[in-house]
């Protein structure tokens, strides 16, 4: 596992067109091509990121309510640095209520991302889970971590990305995409960062 300190950070999304303003979260009908995602990851890599090792162990990614309540809170959340909204790019992955299981209808959204991750020379990709503000903050932080770990699991097992190149953290409801509506669907998302 790696602990990451950021000099600057930028995000990539599979449901957002690069022709649109980067800070806009698009609906599921708009997807980036692998080439567009690759270009965005390359832009992130030019920002100078520092990677510091950590002995933090990943939480179990089982996805029922009891597991969410018992899962440890992400200790690496302090390694997350929010950037200006105009510089954010996010993937909106839909999960069922109170679940961290990746739905079948959401897996195609990760196909272009997978192709881009394989072609980018990045030592680590960070996967950051977010939730809306429904429920308790501590529960949402755990749920967001489990969701990020579920996406990581998919990328390892279905895309062939090396597990050592992926790090999952959960931010819960702390960094809403739509601060004016903390319960908005757009706040439930997964961010990807190309590091190192």
Mean pLDDT of the chain: 72
List the single range of 8-22, 47-61, 116-130 with lowest mean pLDDT.
Answer: 8-22
**CA 155 to each of CA 8, 47, 170, 193: distance values in angstroms, whole numbers, following the listed order:** 25, 24, 17, 14
pLDDT score at 109? 87
| pLDDT, tens digit (0-9, with 9 covering 90-100), for 109-142 | 898 889 988 988 888 888 999 999 999 999 999 9
- pLDDT band with cut points at 50, 70 and 90 for residue 38: confident
Q: Is the pLDDT of residue 57 over 90?
A: no
The conformation of residue 167, written as its DSSP 8-state character, comes to E
| pLDDT, tens digit (0-9, with 9 covering 90-100), for 147-194 | 999 999 999 999 999 999 999 999 999 999 899 999 998 888 888 888
Q: Is 160 exposed, middle or buried (0-12, 13-18, 19+ CB in 10 A)?
A: exposed
The closest of 177, 195, 194 to 186, measured between CA atoms, is 177
Distance (Å, whole) CA 122 – CA 104: 28
pLDDT score at 16? 31
Q: Is 159 exposed, middle or buried (0-12, 13-18, 19+ CB in 10 A)?
A: middle
The closest of 94, 194, 78, 88 to 150, measured between CA atoms, is 94
| pTM across the whole model | 0.70
What percent helix, strand, coil does the chain show, rounded to 5?
35, 15, 50
Give the chain's domains with CATH numbers.
2-195 (3.30.1330.60)
The closest of 192, 83, 119, 103 to 154, measured between CA atoms, is 103
**CA 168 to each of CA 23, 39, 69, 171, 181: distance values in angstroms, whole numbers, following the listed order:** 22, 22, 18, 10, 25
């Amino acid at each position: 596992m790696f602990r990451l300190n950021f000099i600057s950070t930028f995000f990539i999304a599979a449901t957002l067109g690069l022709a649109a303003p980067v800070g806009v979260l698009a609906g599921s009908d708009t997807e980036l091509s692998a080439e567009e995602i690759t270009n965005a990851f390359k832009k992130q890599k030019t920002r100078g990121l520092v990677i510091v090792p950590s002995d933090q162990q990943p939480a179990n990614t089982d996805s029922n309510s009891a597991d969410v309540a018992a899962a440890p809170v992400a200790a690496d959340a302090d390694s997350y640095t929010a950037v200006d909204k105009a510089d954010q790019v996010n993937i909106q992955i839909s999960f069922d209520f109170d679940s961290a299981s990746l739905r079948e209808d959401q897996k195609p959204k990760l196909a272009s991302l997978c192709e881009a991750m394989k072609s980018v020379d990045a030592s680590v990709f960070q996967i950051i889970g977010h939730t809306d503000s429904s429920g308790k903050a501590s529960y949402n932080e755990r749920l967001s971590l489990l969701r990020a770990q579920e996406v990581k699991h998919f990328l390892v097992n279905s895309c062939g990305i090396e597990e050592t190149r992926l790090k999952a953290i959960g931010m819960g409801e702390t960094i809403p995409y739509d601060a004016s509506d903390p319960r908005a669907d757009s706040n439930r998302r997964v961010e990807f960062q190309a590091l190192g």
